[in-house]
Amino acid sequence: MIPTKNTTSFGKMNRRLVLGSAAAALLATQVGCPSTPGMPSPTLRAAGPPQVATVVVANQDLQHTAVMPGTVEGEETTDIYAKVGGFLEEIGVDIGDTVAKGDKLAVLSNPEMAQELERLEAGAESARAIVGQAVAGVAQAEALVESSQAAIEEAETENAEMEANFKFREAELKRTAELVNQKALLAKKLDEAKFNVEAAKAALGTVAARIRTARANLVAAQANVERAKTDRVSAIAMAKVADLDIEKAKTMIGYGTLHAPFDGVVTQRMFDPGAFIKPADGNSAALPLVTISRINTVRLLVDLPMKEVRWLNEGDAVVFGRINVLPGTKIEGTVTRFSAALNSMSRMLRVEIDLPNNDRNLLPGYFGYVTIQLAEFKETPVIPTSALTTIDDRSYVFVVEGTTCHRREVTTNYRDGAIVGIESGIMAGDQVVRSGVGQLTDGQEVTPVPAKNE
C-alpha cells in the first residue's frame, strides 16, 4: 500500500507535466504571430500556416550617385623655370598679379653669354671671308681650264701647219732629187732639201710635245676646279655652322627674358632682383621663379572608386558643395573628362570637371565634396533590402500569390542599404515577403499580413 503522502506528490508532479506539455503545444501553433516586446504572449491560437509580413512593390524614380572629396586646381598651372642661369636683373610681377600671354615676367643677366655671342659673330665673319676666297679659287681654276683648252687649240693649229710644211718639204725633196739625178740642179740643192725635211719633222715633234703638255695642263686645271669647288662647299658649310651657332647663342640669350605662357594669375614668386638663378636644364635642384595659373576656368579633381567606374560617362551631372570657405554654396557642372586607367596604387579613377570661374570664387586648393549622378532609373520596382536573399551569387525574393509564396530570381540595378531597385523578375503590384525570407521555402503555404509602415 502506497502511502498517502507519496500519492499526493505524484499527482502534483503529473499535473505540472500535463500543463507544461499543453503550453508547449499551444506555443508551437503561433509561428509568425508578432508579439509586443516586454508583454505577455497573445492569446493562444490553433495551429496553421505561418504569418509573414508583406509589402506591395511600387515603382520609384531612382538616382545612383557617388559622393567623394574634390580639390580645385587651375585649368592650367605652370612653374616658370629659367633654362639658362644668370643674375635676376628684374622681376615685374608678384603673387596675385594678373598677366596676359606674352607679358614679360623677369629678365636674367649673363655677360658670359653676350661675350660668347661676339666671339661667334667674329668667327662667322672669318668663315664668310673663307667662302669668298673659295669662290674666287673656283673662278681662277676654271680660268686655267679655259687657258689650257686655248693652248691645246693653238698647238693643234700649229701642228696642222707643221704637218703641211713637213709634207711640202718631203715633196720638195723628191723633186730636188729628180732634178739632181737629171743634172738639172747641183747636188748641194739635194742636201738643202733634206735639211728642210728634217727641220720640218723636228718642228712637228715640238708642236706635238706642246699639245701633250697643254692637255696635261688641262687635266690638272680641271682637277683644280673640282678641288676648288669642294673647298667652296666646305667653306659655305662652315659659314652656315657659324651662323647657326650665332642663332643658338641668341636663342639662349633670349631665354634670359621670361614671358607668360598664357593669361592667368601669379600664385607664387620665389626670388628677388639680384639673386643668382640656377638653370633648370639638367638641374633637379632648380626652383621656379614664379608659378602661373589660369583660373577663369578651374578643374575639379575627383578620384572615383573602382566599383563605380562602370556607371561613369562624360556629361554626368555634378554638384560641388560642402566647401568650408563657401558655406551653403553648391556649384553645378558636368563630368568633362576622366582617365583611361585606374591608379595602380589606389585603384581609383581620376575624374575632372571644368567649372567656369570668371568671378574667381574658386581658388586653387579649395576642397569640398562632389556628388556625381552616375545613373538614373525611371519607374523602377523597389523593395526593402530585407526582402532580398542571395543564394550562390543569385538574388531572390518571395512573392506571395494568395496564400502561397514562390521564390523568384531577380536582377538588381540599385542599392542604397535601405531599398533595392529591381531591373527584372518582379513588377509593381507584386506582393513580396518583407523579412525572414531565409526561413521560407518555395511553394510554402503562408498567412500574408500587410506590414505596417515604419
Average pLDDT, the chain: 85
- Between strands 394-401 and 389-391, the pairing is antiparallel
Give the model's pLDDT for residue 152: 82
- Looking from the CA of 31 toward its CB, the CA atoms found within 13 Å total 13
Residue 43 binned pLDDT confidence (cut-offs 50, 70, 90): very low
Per-residue pLDDT at 18 exceeds 80: no
Least confident of 17-26, 87-96, 116-125: 17-26
Query: Is residue 80 packed enough to be buried (19+ CB in 10 Å), middle (13-18) or exposed (0-12)?
Result: buried
Q: How many angstroms separate the CA atoms of 99 and 86, rounded?
A: 24
Could you tell me if 342 and 350 are in contact, meaning their C-beta atoms sit under 8 angstroms apart? no
pLDDT digits (tens, 9 = 90+) for 287-340: 999 999 999 999 999 999 999 999 999 999 999 999 999 999 999 999 999 999
Looking at the chain, the number of H-run helices and the number of E-run strands are 3, 20
User: 399 with 393: CB under 8 angstroms?
Assistant: no
Question: pLDDT band at residue 23, thresholds of 50, 70 and 90?
Answer: very low
- Fold topology of 293-376: Elongation Factor Tu (Ef-tu); domain 3 (2.40.30)
Measured CA distances, 196 to 161, 202, 256, 274 (Å): 15, 10, 89, 100
Residue 56: CA count within 13 A, CB half-sphere: 5
Q: Give the residue with greater pLDDT, 113 vs 46.
A: 113
Q: What's the pLDDT at 47?
A: 65
**Predicted pLDDT of residue 352:** 98
Spacing of C-alpha 129 from chain mean position: 49
Q: Evaluate if residue 42 carries a pLDDT over 60.
A: no
Q: Give residues with Cβ within 8 angstroms of 234, minimum separation 6.
A: 134
pLDDT tens-digit readout, 375-391: 999 999 999 999 999 99
- Whole-angstrom Cα distance, residue 233 to residue 131? 8
Instruction: Tell me what the mean pLDDT of segment 224-238 comes to.
Output: 87
Cell 512573392, residue located: 399
Q: How many other CB atoms are there within 10 angstroms of residue 235's CB atom?
A: 20
Instruction: List the single range of 34-43, 70-79, 124-133, 407-416 with lowest mean pLDDT.
Output: 34-43
Name the CATH superfamily housing domain 113-254: Helix Hairpins (1.10.287.620)
Cα distance between residue 303 and residue 374, in whole Å: 14
Rounded Cα gap, residues 45 and 28, in angstroms: 9
What average pLDDT does this structure show over 411-418? 90
The domain limits of the chain are 51-61+378-450, 82-104+259-288, 113-254, 293-376
Res 38 pLDDT > 70: no
Question: CATH fold of 51-61+378-450, please?
Answer: 2.40.420
